[in-house]
A and B are shown apart, each in its own frame.
Chain A
């Protein structure tokens, strides 16, 4: 078998080496540029070989300014709180839906499902959150709108419960006098850890990468998550100088290399964590595809 498929194998490997290079090369450009001196960047542009290695940009970001550190803090806080609440809401909605005997189950399924078919769009949503709930420039602006519960994930979890949790277990637990909440927490959740990990990871990724809520509802740099900070820094050159140099002479800010350094800071956490959780990401995508 191995002999027969040799040429095909080689084609496949060459293609994947090419694709891997395509994926990695932009990141190399980013990292190398971030550690190249400002004068060399101005003269020769961003490149793959650092002519003069220089960590000034990182010094500005981490020592002279607190915006990146603060951005990390906001991002971590939002991701942790958001993911926790999301999982609680998801599970407590998915479990009743997974119970075939629940009266009105179809109504609740449709109630959930319809949110995937139609949405009010940005304008009414924006007006509601800002005029009615006054969410603008609060930490809740980054947590609550849109991301707190996703119909698609609820359906994934419900499907997992219906296919992997035998009715007999629930029935047996009830005979033993366990309440519904106890059945969910002590019996169903422990055997559903794979799906919880997968959904949790996808939700956390969604929170970490989210910048739209920040773009819509946050204008005070107090609540800039790392992604919002990145967004503002690229679209607004003045912002980068201000953010980097509180108290430093604005002319001295290495804004060309700083842009790359701040992007590295934005990409780094995912790139460090990702290889360890690769399995779960792939699983999450696959489960989502099966019951899309």
Chain B
């Protein structure tokens, strides 16, 4: 209380007092400006005919031509469809599996096993997607893969050229995604389960409820807020895809593009491999814009539902 006298001074004093705090934020601000805000301004490139010599801001405007070209191609539909459909499958299967696994983990009474299982299932999440692509390759390589050489041969089936046959990839990519992420998602739900008041279960037990009834009437309702929020957050990211999963795991194989090309891989290939900067930038802005709208809408819904968990 004594310091109150010192706190109230002229406004110049006030800012002087906070000067060290502002100084501390300068490096971070500079980084954010360079790394995030300048590229945000750079999205104008989508409306320009990019010229290497004059740079982003010196290139001439061409209005919506890049978007017109982009949406005239078949690619625009393919990448939108792939990005959305894969994400929908990932969200549905990922959520269901994560909840089941989390409930089972919660049921295990032995602390030692619990910790062991937790450790093991989280491992794929920590391994880089590049290493994962080698694991997939060990199974699927046409000449030396375990599936062709080990399983198909033993069953008397013809080997399959996995990396050139698109029809298998929706399944393969979903399996790889689930393998890599289920442990992580499980931990998210598990941490909510740990927070549930044990009293609910005890009184349910006194009333003669069995395990399934308890899961149905206590666990799932308690998980509902977490489920809604995590699902909404995933929906807000539905226009983004894991670049590594769709680029590196299918080994960037052209034969598979129809089912592996997402907005992110399209943007990368357009920029680096095809040097089609206009269309690439247009696709990128299309993604950022729809993504932004989705985040804002998703957050509005979360805030209505549960103010505490809203992002902003």
**Distance between Cα atoms of A227 and B34 in the complex (Å):** 26
Contact with A along B135-154 (1 / 0, CB 8 A): 10111010111101110000
**Residues 76-118 of B contacting A (Cβ, < 8 Å):** 101, 104-105, 107-109, 113, 115, 117-118
Instruction: Return the chain B residue nearest A144 by Cβ.
Output: B35
Known: A8-B211, A120-B39. A47 touches B149 (CB 8 A): yes
The residue in B108, B138, B188, B267 that gathers the most chain A C-beta atoms within 10 A of its C-beta is B138
Quick one: which of A112, A120, A259 contacts B137, CB cutoff 8 A?
A259
B120: interface (CB < 8 Å): yes
Nearest A residue to B182 via CB reads A19
Q: Which of B135, B145, B229, B252 has the most CB of A within 10 A?
A: B135
A-chain residues with CB within 8 Å of residue B40 when the two chains form the complex:
118-120, 124
Shortest CB distance A145–B (Å) = 7
Contact (Cβ within 8 A) B149 A45 = yes
- The reply to whether B108 and A29 contact each other, CB–CB distance below 8 Å, is no
Contact yes or no, B144 A41, CB < 8 A: yes
Q: B130–A121 contact, CB under 8 A?
A: no
With known contacts A46-B146, A115-B32, A263–B191 Cβ distance under 8 A:
no
CB distance from A190 to the nearest CB of B (A): 18
CB pair A146 B35 closer than 8 Å: yes
Tell me, yes or no, whether A270 is within 8 Å of chain B by CB.
yes
Indicate if the CB atoms of B55 and A92 lie closer than 8 Å.
no
Q: Tell me if B9 is interfacial: C-beta within 8 Å of chain A.
A: no
Contact residues in A for B150 (Cβ distance below 8 Å): 44-47
CB proximity to A under 8 Å, residues B137-193:
137-139, 141, 143-146, 148-150, 179, 182-184, 187-188, 191-192
Do B20 and A121 touch across chains, with their CB atoms under 8 A apart? no
From B133, which residue of chain A is reached at the shortest CB distance?
A: A234
What residues on B are CB-neighbors of A193 within 8 Å? Answer: none
Given A13-B113, A266-B130, A282-B187; A46-B25 close (CB under 8 Å): no
- Contact at A45–B18, with CB atoms within 8 Å? no
Q: B121 to A20, Cβ gap below 8 A?
A: yes
**0/1 string, B226-254, CB within 8 A of A gives 1:** 10011001000000000110001001100
Q: Mark B271-312, 1 if CB is under 8 A from A, else 0.
A: 110000100110011011001100110000000000001011
Whether the pair A119, B20 counts as a contact (CB closer than 8 A) is no
Query: Interface segment, B41-49, B67-75, B216-224?
Result: B41-49
* B22-52 contact mask (Cβ, 8 Å, vs A): 1 or 0: 1011011101101111111111011000101
Complex partner residue of A30 from B109, B134, B183, B226, CB under 8 angstroms: B134
Residue-wise interface mask of A (264-282) relative to B, using a CB-CB cutoff of 8 A (1 in contact, 0 not): 0011001100110010011
Q: Does A9 contact B (CB under 8 A)?
A: yes
Query: Main SS of chain A's interface residues?
Result: helix
Residues of A contacting B135 with CB < 8 Å? Answer: 26-27, 29-30, 263
Supposing A46-B144, A96-B22 touch, asked if A29 and B139 sit within 8 A by C-beta, the answer is yes
Please name all residues of chain A whose beta carbon is closer than 8 Å to the beta carbon of B229 when the two chains form the complex: 292
Q: Which of A120, A180, A290 contacts B43 (CB 8 A)?
A: A120
* A62 part of interface (Cβ distance < 8 Å): no
Kindly state whether residue A179 has any CB partner on chain B within 8 Å. Answer: yes
Bitwise interface map of A from 227 to 268 toward B, beta carbon under 8 Å scored 1, else 0: 100110011000000000000000000001001101100110
Which residue of the partner chain A has the closest CB to B229?
A292
Whether A29 and B28, one on each chain, are in contact in the complex, defined by CB atoms closer than 8 angstroms, is no
Q: Is A15 an interface residue (CB 8 A)?
A: yes
Q: Is B206 an interface residue (CB 8 A)?
A: no
Chain B interface bracket (under 10, 10 to 19, 20 to 34, 35 or more): 35 or more
- From A20, A96, A120, A211, B42 is in contact (CB under 8 Å) with A120
Q: Which residue of the partner chain A has the closest CB to B29? A: A111
Contact of B21 with A180 in the complex, beta carbons under 8 Å: yes
Given contacts A92-B25, A122-B271, A123-B284, contact A128 B39 (CB under 8 A): yes
Q: Known contacts A124-B43, A292-B233: does B127 contact A9 (CB below 8 Å)?
A: no
With A16-B117, A211-B244 known as contacts, the answer to whether A23 contacts B123 (CB < 8 A) is: yes
Neighbouring A residues of B188 by C-beta, 8 Å: 285-286, 289
C-alpha spacing A220/B265, complex, angstroms = 22
- The proximity string for A residues 96-140 relative to B, scoring 1 for CB distances below 8 Å and 0 otherwise, is 110100110000100111011111111111111001100000000
Please report which residues of chain A, range 4-31, place their CB below 8 angstroms from some CB of chain B when the two chains form the complex.
5, 8-9, 11-13, 15-16, 19-20, 22-24, 26-27, 29-30
Query: Are the C-beta atoms of B104 and A16 separated by less than 8 Å?
Result: yes
Q: Is A78 an interface residue (CB 8 A)?
A: no
Give Cα A16–Cα B250 distance, bound, in whole angstroms.
Answer: 29
- In the complex, what residue of chain B is closest to A182 when comparing beta carbons? B20
Complex Cα gap A191–B186 (Å): 30
Contact A12 B122 (CB under 8 A): no
Contact yes or no, A23 B124, CB < 8 A: yes
Q: Does B203 contact A (CB under 8 A)?
A: no
Once the chains bind, are A8 and B179 in contact (CB under 8 Å)? no
Contact indicator A92/B24 (Cβ below 8 Å) = yes
**A225 shortest CB reach to chain B, Å:** 10
Which residues of the other chain, B, contact A122 by a CB distance below 8 angstroms? 264, 267-268, 271, 280, 284
- Interchain nearest-CB distance for B180 vs A (Å): 10
CB pairs A–B below 8 angstroms (21 shown)? A9-B108, A26-B139, A29-B138, A30-B138, A46-B139, A92-B28, A102-B21, A117-B296, A119-B39, A120-B288, A122-B264, A125-B42, A128-B56, A149-B31, A174-B3, A205-B126, A209-B127, A216-B272, A234-B251, A292-B230, A292-B309
A116-B311, A235-B252 are known; give 4 further A-B pairs, CB within 8 A: A45-B149, A47-B146, A205-B126, A230-B134
